[in-house]
Amino acid sequence: MSDKIYIYDTTLRDGTQGESISLSVRDKLQIIEKLDDIGIDYIEVGFPASNPKDEELFETLKARKYNHSKIVAFGRTKYKNVAVQDDENIRLLIDSKADSVCIFGKSSSFHVEKVIETTLAHNLEMIFDSVQYLKKNVKEVIFDGEHFFDGFRQNSEYAMKTLKTAADAGADFIVLCDTNGGFLPTEIENIIAKIRKEIKVPLGIHFHNDGGCAVANSIISVECGAIMVQGTINGYGERSGNADLCQIIPNLQIKLDKQCLKDSDSIKNLTSLSRFVAELANQIPLSHQPFVGVSAFAHKGGMHVSGISKFTTAFEHIPPESVGNKRRILISELSGKKSIVIKAKEFGIDLENNSKKVGEILEKIQMLEHKGYQFEAADASFELLVKDVAGEKKNYFTLESFRVLNEKKENGEMLSEATVKILINKERIIETGEGVGPVNALDMALRKALTRFYPKLKKIKLTDFKVRVLNEKKGTGDVVRVLIESSDGENSWGTIGVSENIIEASWQALQDSIIYGLNEVS
């Protein structure tokens, strides 16, 4: 692998400026460990002492050293009316004891004159004094030219002066920032070509995604000679976010043969890193996210499934395993018979030479999806359908009836009570359960009835419950779809129910969840 590209992660600083994203000190420390494990070169952790959280984080980091990653403290050039040695921000950057310091300075004449309200000449002094003073007191200084590309478009001569000033002051890297995120790849390519002729300090880039081009701009910048790429995990960040490192890294390393991580195998942990950060940031992972999303290698159309069954490269640009993801075959009314054969094989059922059973399964799927079922998010229900047709489904119990009562008490509390009557080996069992809602009460009653016969049911928990009205115009009289997710602590599975009655739909999904779980839990 050739050409080292330095990956600079700013999830913990720029990423947390995204709407609804907040990380505790413990969260940040856990993410730093994951980033170090995968081999990220630079981890920007925040502004020293800008808030109590970052102050605690930097104090904690002083006592820690990481195997690969450099910890970066972020700040600005000195304030316009303060000598550099007296600037509190500069002092805090030095006192942070970070491995590297990154400061931003204005590269746009508009921002200099209208936003920070100083002269163009004085801004150059601020950049020079800050970089030079920091360089005397810390190991490495990175200069971010804030609004550089906008500044270059407005006044290219001045924008270049800001970079040359930082270079003359001793900056180790000069980073070109598209802070507003509105540039196109062709513009970036032309500008960087001009910069490389005049700036000999190693170049980095920092793109926001307001125009949807942050990843493309990052990649083309590397092809034009940039050797540092700044971005965030999952593209988190202000407004439309930052350049997504989960897309940039595999494009550079797999497609362009650039060395981005500490070793070639580290990239296999990219999918787990993406989902780990999403979990700590309390964000729903983007299913269609390239490379690492759960749908990134999901195949639904019959022709697509048939194609990848012969050659995976027919409909996949890389092997999913190369980034730690996996291939998924989705079942729907669009599925061909080959999709069903391949999917059934995952369940240990060979239908290769049983076209009658395959046809029966396909007919059932099409009929059920017409009613509102959707098996893409309910693999467990689909597996039970296949096993039922194949004669391999074990039901564990037979429902005789169930009843649900809802009670509102004088103090405003709502209570649900459910009674189930089931048959197990011809023995009639009646149990009652209470819960905060009808589905919870049904779940409690069914568990009480079954646990004596199937103790392993104790391991199975409901982890998610979703209801969707399929035709909102019909209001309360419409068909509803219920999706339930369950887990045994190690594996998760989804089941589905559809009915005009929400309790009936919930029962269908709940019943499938229990039956599937009892079959799977050892």
Q: Is the pLDDT of residue 473 over 70?
A: no
pLDDT in tens, 371-421: 888 787 788 998 899 888 888 888 899 999 999 999 888 887 889 999 999
In degrees rounded to 5, what are phi and psi of residue 189?
-60, -45
Residue at 289 is within a domain:
no
| CA dist., res. 1 & res. 265, Å (int) | 12
The reported pTM is: 0.74
Q: Is the pLDDT of residue 433 over 80?
A: yes
For residues 261 and 353, membership in a common domain is answered with: no
CB 189 within 8 A of CB 213: no
Residue at 473 is within a domain:
yes
pLDDT at 426: 87
Mean pLDDT of 49-59: 85
Q: What is the CATH number of the domain that holds 75?
A: 3.20.20.70
CB 9 within 8 A of CB 42: yes
Residue 490: pLDDT band (50, 70, 90) is confident
Residue 334: pLDDT band (50, 70, 90) is low
Residue at 360 is within a domain:
yes
Residue at 494 is within a domain:
yes
Mean pLDDT of 296-304: 76
More confident residue, 387 or 223: 223
SS3 content of the chain, % helix, strand, coil (to 5): 45, 20, 35
Mean pLDDT of 148-172: 97
For residues 62 and 166, membership in a common domain is answered with: yes
Task: Say how many CA atoms lie within 13 Å of 223 toward its Cβ.
Answer: 16
- Among the residue ranges 187-196, 213-222, 421-430, 455-464, the one predicted with the least confidence is 455-464
For residues 91 and 206, membership in a common domain is answered with: yes
For residues 352 and 239, membership in a common domain is answered with: no
Residue 520: pLDDT band (50, 70, 90) is confident
Residue 322: is it exposed, middle or buried by C-beta count within 10 angstroms (0-12/13-18/19+)?
middle
Short-list 42, 55, 179, 15, CA closest to 102: 42
pLDDT at 464: 86
- The owner of tokens 């995976």 is 312
For residues 267 and 375, membership in a common domain is answered with: no
Q: Is the pLDDT of residue 234 over 50?
A: yes
For residues 136 and 69, membership in a common domain is answered with: yes
Q: What residues form DSSP beta bridges with 469?
A: 480
Structural domain of 507: 460-522
Residue 348: pLDDT band (50, 70, 90) is confident
CB 486 within 8 A of CB 466: no
Q: How many helices (H) and strands (E) does the chain have?
A: 17, 18
For residues 164 and 29, membership in a common domain is answered with: yes
pLDDT at 285: 83
How many C-beta neighbours within 10 Å does residue 382 have? 26
pLDDT at 371: 84
Q: What residues form DSSP beta bridges with 244?
A: 232
Residue at 170 is within a domain:
yes
For residues 239 and 94, membership in a common domain is answered with: yes
In the chain, pLDDT over 70 holds for what percent of residues?
Answer: 95
For residues 194 and 234, membership in a common domain is answered with: yes
Q: Find which of 157-171, 259-273, 296-310 is predicted with most confidence, using mean pLDDT.
A: 157-171
Q: What is the CATH number of the domain that holds 472?
A: 3.30.160.340
pLDDT at 305: 66
**Domain end residue (candidates: 231, 254, 280):** 280
Summary mean pLDDT of the chain? 90
For residues 274 and 328, membership in a common domain is answered with: no
For residues 263 and 376, membership in a common domain is answered with: no
Alpha carbon of residue 137 to chain centroid: 37
Residue 175: pLDDT band (50, 70, 90) is very high
Cα angle 256, 258, 263; round to 5: 130
For residues 10 and 43, membership in a common domain is answered with: yes
**Domain end residue (candidates: 389, 423, 442):** 389
Q: Is the pLDDT of residue 99 over 60?
A: yes
Rg (CA), the chain: 29
Q: What residues form DSSP beta bridges with 230?
A: 8, 206
Mean pLDDT of 315-323: 90
pLDDT in tens, 250-289: 999 999 999 999 888 999 999 999 989 988 898 888 889 9
Q: Is the pLDDT of residue 151 over 60?
A: yes
CB 142 within 8 A of CB 102: yes
Residue 1: pLDDT band (50, 70, 90) is very low
| CA dist., res. 104 & res. 100, Å (int) | 14
In the chain, pLDDT over 90 holds for what percent of residues?
Answer: 65
Residue at 488 is within a domain:
yes
Number of domains in the chain: 3
In degrees rounded to 5, what are phi and psi of residue 146?
-65, 140
CB 75 within 8 A of CB 101: yes
Residue at 414 is within a domain:
no
Q: Is the pLDDT of residue 476 over 60?
A: no
pLDDT at 176: 98
Residue at 235 is within a domain:
yes
Residue 326: pLDDT band (50, 70, 90) is confident
In degrees rounded to 5, what are phi and psi of residue 309?
-70, -20
Helix (H) or strand (E) holding 158: helix 156-169
Mean pLDDT of 472-489: 76
| CA dist., res. 68 & res. 513, Å (int) | 44
Mean pLDDT of 460-467: 88
**Domain end residue (candidates: 389, 420, 438):** 389
**Strand-pair category, 100-106 with 70-76:** parallel
| CA dist., res. 323 & res. 301, Å (int) | 24
Q: Is the pLDDT of residue 363 over 90?
A: no
